[in-house]
Amino acid sequence: MDENRKRRLQVLGEMVDNHCWDNREEIAASDQCLCTGCGLWLDPTEIVRWHEGKHACCPECGLAGAVVGSKSGIPLDEYRSYMEIE
Ligand SMILES: [Zn+2]
């Protein structure tokens, strides 16, 4: 992975970290969500488990603190494309 790509992934990763916790309202307002743990695209309605009532849990892999909504403004397609390479 070249330096630009690595830096970009780091920036996106930090954005993701800021949006995968305490994100119940943001998930509800999103058109789609991405689990950064398993890479699955999710519909907000598929997220039915909430860690401590406020952190989205992935219905597929069960991870809390890994689901990010499109409403976060993070380019999730781009982030996911990096995930597949690694
Ligand atoms: Zn998952």
The whole-number pLDDT of residue 25 equals 97
* 22 vs 84 pLDDT, higher one: 22
The whole-number pLDDT of residue 23 equals 97
0.85 exceeded by the pTM?
Answer: yes
Instruction: Give the whole-number percent of the chain exceeding pLDDT 90.
Output: 90
Question: From ligand 1's centre to the CA of 22, what distance in Å?
Answer: 17
Task: Indicate the average pLDDT of the chain.
Answer: 94
Question: From ligand 1's centre to the CA of 3, what distance in Å?
Answer: 28
Q: What is the pLDDT of residues 52-66, one digit of tens each?
A: 999 999 999 999 999
What total number of domains does the chain contain? 1
Question: From ligand 1's centre to the CA of 42, what distance in Å?
Answer: 9
Q: In Å, how far are 3, 4, 5, 37 from 67, measured between CA atoms?
A: 26, 25, 22, 8
Question: From ligand 1's centre to the CA of 7, what distance in Å?
Answer: 24
Question: From ligand 1's centre to the CA of 56, what distance in Å?
Answer: 10
Q: Flag whether pLDDT at 38 surpasses 70.
A: yes
Domain hosting residue 14, numbered range: 3-85
Question: From ligand 1's centre to the CA of 74, what distance in Å?
Answer: 17
**68: its two tokens:** 């990010």
Token pair 């070249």 in the structure block, residue? 2
